[in-house]
Amino acid sequence: MDPHPPASMRAFYDAYLRWRDECAMDNAIADHLADMFVRAGLVEIDTRNQAEATRRGELDFESKIGMWADVAASRGRQMVVDGVITETERAAAEFDYRTWIRSQAESQTLYLLAVEGARPD
């Protein structure tokens, strides 16, 4: 993201990744899929970069870049219940990020991969 999001959202994001990791969710699963496909016996494995970029001025900029504010508003509440963050930290991250979107955010690129494989004949 350009420029960097507010510190409150960066702290929320770090806590979010730790929370997912503690729940045995692979935060880098896209990078591991090709190897997982090989181990599963798939062939003709194809990995394609499908990164999505958005820039200020595009029609859907605020909805696309706002996804992390939406995560703070939704999953963040479960993180509070689970004791990962406080409600004050969650609310600050959401508010500060939405304010940053309206006043400072210029761009975001989401790292996305598509991985396909086929069963052997």
Instruction: Judge whether 98 and 70 are in contact, CB under 8 Å.
Output: no
Position 79 in a domain: yes
Does some domain include residue 113? yes
How many Cα atoms occupy the beta-carbon half-sphere of 71 within 13 Å? 17
Let me know if residue 97 belongs to a domain. Answer: yes
**Helices and strands: H and E segment counts in the chain:** 5, 4
pLDDT for the residue numbered 33: 95
Residue 64 domain-assigned (yes or no)? yes
pLDDT at 119: 95
Number of domains in the chain: 1
- 57 located within any domain: yes
* Residues spanned by the domain of 72: 7-118
Q: What is the mean pLDDT of residues 100-104?
A: 95
How does DSSP assign 35-46, residue by residue?
HHHHHTT-EEEE
Task: Give the model confidence (pLDDT) of 107-121 as tens digits.
Answer: 999 999 999 999 998
Q: What is the pLDDT of residue 121?
A: 84
On whether residue 2 sits in a domain, the answer given is no
Residues 6+ apart with CB under 8 A from 78: none
List, for residues 31-47, the tens digit of each pLDDT value.
Answer: 999 999 999 999 999 99
Q: What is the pLDDT of residue 113?
A: 95
The mean pLDDT of the chain is: 95
Q: Measuring CA to CA, how many Å separate 13 from each of 4, 51, 57, 79? A: 12, 19, 25, 11
**Is 13 among the domain residues?**
yes
pLDDT at 1: 63
Taking 3-state DSSP, the helix, strand and coil percentages for the chain, each rounded to the nearest 5, stand at: 55, 20, 30
pLDDT digits (tens, 9 = 90+) for 1-57: 668 999 999 999 999 999 999 989 998 999 999 999 999 999 999 999 999 999 999
Residue 112 lies in a domain: yes
